[in-house]
Structure 1
Amino acid sequence: MHPINWLIVVGYIGYVLIDGVRRSKGTDKIEGYFLANRSLPWWALGLSVMATQLSAVTMIGTTGQGATDGIRFVQFYFGLPLAMIILGVTLVPFLHGAKVYTAYEYLERRFGPGTRSATSFLFLLSRGMSVGTILAAPGVVFSAIFGWPLIWSVAIIGVPTVAYTMLGGIQAVTWADVKQMILIILSLIGIMFVLFMQMPVSPDEALRIAGSTGRLQVFDFSFTLTEQYTFWSGILGGTFLMLSYFGTDQSQVQRYLAARNVDEARSTLLISAYWKIPLQGLVLLVGVLVFVYYLFVAPPLLFNPDHEAQVREANPAVYTELEARYGQAFADREAVALEVTQLRDAGQAAEADAAMGRFLEREAEVEAIRGEALTLAEEVTGESSRDVNYIIPRFALNELPIGLSGIFIAAILAAAMSSISSELNSLSTTTVIDFYRRWVRPEATDAHYLNVSKMATLFWGAFACVVATFAATLGSLIEVVNRFGSFFYGSILGVFLLAMVPRTNGWGSGVGLVAGMGSVAYFTFFQSHIAFLWHNVIGAVVVLVVGTTVSALTGGSDAKGALS
């Protein structure tokens, strides 16, 4: 990478660290450290919520998914606006008014300390694994592209993030997120501009070609439990996922708990309701345009340079033959794509449509050869051959002009750091408030709790690094992080919903939680064809049904809880 690009990246990391130290003032009390004394403005918290979601997984995995699969992934977020409205009139005013540090404190008042600890533990487990996946996204890509050991790639991102999170708490995290969101959006817009300028076809024709391959298909109204991304899985499964994520996940709850009042807390979530889907559409559209760009500029046969080097060394003759076939297939596809454009420009619509049919045949041939190469890479390396996570970083380094590629790499780091810092801060808060202060040291000074929280941040940072080395081999990272979440989220949401049902008790919450987790585990491991978004619905419904039934059989709200 050019020295100017490195200067941009290093300068940005240094700026975030310095700003984090500056923001550490006023965090000598636990309310200041965890909740910024409930004084942060709604717009900053709203951008922080968006930045937490827009991780490096999104910048790398979602753009890569747009290039290979199109924009139908945006259906995943269709339940978000509905979830924000529901939370705005239910949990948000209640939790903010209760003056709690974590969402799980309320569950102790309703069902007893055992239920609080059980749900807190599930949050720690799910979010700890997810933050590892978020860290894996840039770590594994930088490792493969720059040839660094994975541990060093992870450390470059993890160490400064842990440092400013430990020093400044939520104050530093939130204001860093605001700057990072601006950098991310500017970099995406810059990439789109460069793509439109460098492609030999008009923007209209580029989108038309992408549409012919199905990459601009947004809606899939088929009702099936086996297809991951449909309108119905997004509306139903997505709503349950978003209710759980924004209503019970401490990394999100902590944002609106830090707002000045209930109205501003609601406004914090409404920013996501209004802007998340358009922003996610922009990210996916960048991936789609990269696909169109590579119709006219020869892409590598394998985007993962590490796998490419290993395959070339292990089977040079086979790989050379694949490259020759790929080069010819690419040339044929490019010629037909240009023919379609020329016919369209000449007003020969019927001939252009006929040529589009030939283009799709050539596209299928190119993808078939790439499929052979990916299978060969899997055989040689023993790792997942999906290189969707390498498409955008390799494009940024090889195709973007000097300066913009540095800004984009800095944006990937910004996305990773914003999400990781938010997650680490929430993991530390839950560890200290729901476990250490509740069970180990109920009485201690704020200084003591702050020291423990900083050690907890360090612990979860190390835990994330370990998970990152495992998650890197699991394929599309945007799916991996949501699979991790969907395994736990539905059941946790079910407990919170159960708390709103009259005459439910701790027995119901305990047995319902076990039943919910058990049902999700069954569908995960023994019915793997069921799309993971439905796991959120399954977990929540099972907890509600079982919890309500058990509560009725054990004497209602007057009975002591199984987890009390």
Structure 2
Amino acid sequence: MSKVDFIIVITYMLGMVLIGYRLGKKNETQEDYFLAGRSMPWLPVGLSVAATMVSANGFVGGPGWAYNSGIGPFMVNITVPLAIMAALYTTIPVFYNLKLTSVYEYSEKRLGVISRNLTVMGFLMNSLIQVSSMVYIPALIINKFTDFEIKISVTIIVVIAIVYTLLGGIKAVIWTDATQMIILWGGLIFAFSQIFRVTGLSLGETYTIAREAGKLEAIDFTFNLTSTNGFWASLVGGFIMWVRYFGLDQGQVQRILTSKSYRGVKNSFVVSAVIMNILYFLFMALGVLLFIYYDGREFDTSNGIMIDFIANNLPVGVVGLLISGIFAAAMSSIDSLLNSMTTVYTKDIHERFFSKSHRITSLKGSMIISTVFGVLIIIFSLIGFSGSMKSVLDVIGSYISYLSGPMCGAFFLAMFTVRSNDRGVASGIVLGMFLTFILSRNISYSWIWNPFIGFVFTSITGYLGSFIFKSEKTIEENYRYTLMGQRRELLKRGEVTEEGVSKLPLALDRYSVLLLVFFLSQYIILYIMGLC
């Protein structure tokens, strides 16, 4: 790496720390640290949600996946707008109206302590897998351009993320994510422009070459259980996976709950859905362009394709900007999940089981917990992802697929039924994970089906188990926290709208229509691309 590139990367990292320091000066309470006093504008919140999902894995693993498989892997993300629409229609209004800090508080209000603990553990396991993988990609890049070992690189990246997250809390997370999203777009534009400049090909010529190489065929209607990118697998399994991510995952919901109003919540989610999928499609397109650029050359690992392009094909200065873009993608995911894991552990575990008289944890105590999770991220990063030959996106998806379905099933039973109880749903979560794991080991199918399978197993066994175990709550107590119960209470209190936007669960509006139109338009565009 040249001195110019090195200075650019260091300047970026110092800039993130400075933002965290300046924003953290006004943090006085735990609510400031975790929820920014519920005062954030909707645009940076939307950019933050998008940035967290994109991560460095999308920037590096996405093009690598598309290099080998064409734009087909985009199908894994195609249901993101539909899942966000479902979240806005069901879970988000409930969490917002109950003024929750952790979404898993809802599990105890509706079900009980056991279900809350299991959903908390599911979130923490899922987040450690995700965030650790997000560290590994930029660590590979540092290793490529310097003499630093992976262990040192991972430590540097996590420490920087810990520092500015500790200094600024959720405000630093959101504003640095918004800044990093801009840097990410800049890096992507540089990559595209360099490929077109070197190859000398026009957009039309590139399209023709890609189509003849079979890289633009995305929609496959055949029912193939082993295909991760098939139409039915992505629609069914992908939908459940993304509903859990956007509607039930603390990492996403926490940012949304910092918004000033429910109008802000909906604006944030709509913007994030559009930006996320456009950006992910561009990652796929970049992978196809790299296939043309390298004339189909074989690489040892798909994760190494983008790294090789940066290392050997970009001029001084652009390398630094692109590496900063990858770091921006990584940091935006690390800081968000680090803050969310701290929030969940603090509210759902520490204050309930270890704090005297269940006192609210001090700001200093919350920061110490963040540091501990930072250390765990380093350990998981070094253990879980070294030496992977697959795209890191594919690896992550397979790991977390066992958790997505049972988590969705638990919240589905809580929100849509009144008979479900704590021990019944808890048994359903455990059985759902176990049965999904057993089935995946005995039948050959893609991991993307696991969320749907786990959802079905958990919903059925959890509901049946609720008839076996006695409920500690009355039917009326249960009904109060269902979607229909929450809707009834809001209507009774006359709290139907906020700034002209409906706060009611199960209320479709223009935001839902926009998301649905965007979702369907993706299929139309991909279908036309495959034909022309």
> Counterpart in 1 of 2:365?
452
Q: What per-residue deviation string (whole Å, max 9, x for no partner) do you get for residues 456-485 of structure 1?
A: 211111111111123122332111222222
Mapped contact 1:35–1:101 kept (Cα < 8 A): yes
Q: Distance in 2 between matches of 1:238 and 1:30?
A: 35
State yes or no: 1:465 paired with 2:378: yes
> Counterpart in 1 of 2:106?
106
Equivalent positions of 1:271-286 (< 5 A) are 271-286=271-286
> Could you tell me which amino acid in structure 2 is paired with residue 410 of structure 1?
S
Q: What per-residue deviation string (whole Å, max 9, x for no partner) do you get for residues 415-462 of structure 1?
A: 11110000100000001000001111154765x432222122111111
Q: Distance in 2 between matches of 1:517 and 1:165?
A: 33
> Counterpart in 2 of 1:509?
425
Q: Distance in 2 between matches of 1:217 and 1:110?
A: 45
Equivalent positions of 1:67-466 (< 5 A) are 67-295=67-295, 386-441=300-355, 443=357, 448-466=361-379
Q: Distance in 1 between matches of 2:366 and 2:440?
A: 34
Mapped contact 2:402–2:451 kept (Cα < 8 A): yes
Name the CA shift for 1:137/1:526 in 2 (closer, same or farther; >3 Å).
farther
Q: What per-residue deviation string (whole Å, max 9, x for no partner) do you get for residues 295-316 of structure 1?
A: 2xxxxxxxxxxxxxxxxxxxxx
TM-score, scaled relative to structure 2: 0.85
Name the CA shift for 1:69/1:271 in 2 (closer, same or farther; >3 Å).
same
> Could you tell me which amino acid in structure 2 is paired with residue 54 of structure 1?
V
Which secondary structure does the structure 1 equivalent of 2:387 belong to? Answer: coil
Q: Distance in 2 between matches of 1:99 and 1:194?
A: 48
Alpha-carbon distance, 1:520 to partner: 2.1
Which secondary structure does the structure 1 equivalent of 2:24 belong to? Answer: coil
> Counterpart in 1 of 2:439?
523
Alpha-carbon distance, 1:81 to partner: 1.4
Question: Which has the higher mean CA deviation after the structures are superposed, 195-204 or 33-42?
Answer: 195-204
> Could you tell me which amino acid in structure 1 is paired with residue 153 of structure 2?
S
Q: Distance in 2 between matches of 1:544 and 1:12?
A: 46
Alpha-carbon distance, 1:96 to partner: 0.6
Alpha-carbon distance, 1:512 to partner: 0.7
Alpha-carbon distance, 1:67 to partner: 1.8
Mapped contact 2:53–2:276 kept (Cα < 8 A): no
> Could you tell me which amino acid in structure 2 is paired with residue 407 of structure 1?
L
Question: Which has the higher mean CA deviation after the structures are superposed, 432-441 or 270-279?
Answer: 270-279
Q: What per-residue deviation string (whole Å, max 9, x for no partner) do you get for residues 44-88 of structure 1?
A: 111000000111111111111122221111101121111111111
Q: Distance in 2 between matches of 1:483 and 1:496?
A: 22
Q: Distance in 2 between matches of 1:467 and 1:191?
A: 31
> Counterpart in 1 of 2:391?
476
Q: Distance in 2 between matches of 1:267 and 1:439?
A: 37
TM-score, scaled relative to structure 1: 0.81
> Counterpart in 2 of 1:347?
none
> Counterpart in 1 of 2:448?
533
> Could you tell me which amino acid in structure 2 is paired with residue 460 of structure 1?
F
Alpha-carbon distance, 1:138 to partner: 1.4
In our comparison, the structure showing a higher alpha carbon Rg is: 1
Q: Distance in 2 between matches of 1:276 and 1:288?
A: 19
Question: Which has the higher mean CA deviation after the structures are superposed, 470-479 or 38-47?
Answer: 470-479
State yes or no: 1:542 paired with 2:457: yes
Which secondary structure does the structure 1 equivalent of 2:27 belong to? Answer: coil
> Which stretches of structure 1, 4 residues or more, deviate above 6 A after TM superposition?
none
Question: Which has the higher mean CA deviation after the structures are superposed, 436-445 or 535-544?
Answer: 436-445
Q: Distance in 2 between matches of 1:181 and 1:257?
A: 20
> Could you tell me which amino acid in structure 1 is paired with residue 377 of structure 2?
A
Structure 2: runs of 5 or more not aligned: 479-532
Q: What per-residue deviation string (whole Å, max 9, x for no partner) do you get for residues 149-198 of structure 1?
A: 11111122111111111111100010000000001011111211121111
Name the CA shift for 1:91/1:213 in 2 (closer, same or farther; >3 Å).
same
Mapped contact 2:115–2:423 kept (Cα < 8 A): no
Alpha-carbon distance, 1:555 to partner: 5.2
Q: Distance in 2 between matches of 1:2 and 1:133?
A: 27
Q: What per-residue deviation string (whole Å, max 9, x for no partner) do you get for residues 274-309 of structure 1?
A: 2322211111111211111112xxxxxxxxxxxxxx
Q: Distance in 1 between matches of 2:439 and 2:363?
A: 41
Mapped contact 2:145–2:311 kept (Cα < 8 A): no
Mapped contact 2:44–2:175 kept (Cα < 8 A): yes
> Counterpart in 2 of 1:341?
none
Mapped contact 2:240–2:451 kept (Cα < 8 A): yes
Q: Distance in 2 between matches of 1:136 and 1:211?
A: 33
Which secondary structure does the structure 2 equivalent of 1:259 belong to? Answer: coil
> Could you tell me which amino acid in structure 2 is paired with residue 432 of structure 1?
T
Which secondary structure does the structure 1 equivalent of 2:256 belong to? Answer: helix
Aligned length: 473
Q: Distance in 1 between matches of 2:323 and 2:47?
A: 20
Mapped contact 1:60–1:138 kept (Cα < 8 A): no
Mapped contact 1:48–1:177 kept (Cα < 8 A): yes
Q: Distance in 1 between matches of 2:142 and 2:216?
A: 29
State yes or no: 1:488 paired with 2:403: yes
Name the CA shift for 1:168/1:443 in 2 (closer, same or farther; >3 Å).
farther
> Counterpart in 1 of 2:514?
none
Q: Distance in 1 between matches of 2:147 and 2:31?
A: 43
> Could you tell me which amino acid in structure 2 is paired with residue 34 of structure 1?
F
- What is the aligned-residue RMSD (CA, Å)? 1.9
Percent identical across equivalent pairs? Answer: 32
Q: Distance in 1 between matches of 2:398 and 2:26?
A: 38
Alpha-carbon distance, 1:144 to partner: 4.1
Q: Distance in 2 between matches of 1:538 and 1:506?
A: 21
Q: Distance in 1 between matches of 2:179 and 2:130?
A: 23
> Counterpart in 2 of 1:45?
45
> Counterpart in 2 of 1:552?
467
Name the CA shift for 1:6/1:457 in 2 (closer, same or farther; >3 Å).
same
Mapped contact 1:8–1:410 kept (Cα < 8 A): yes
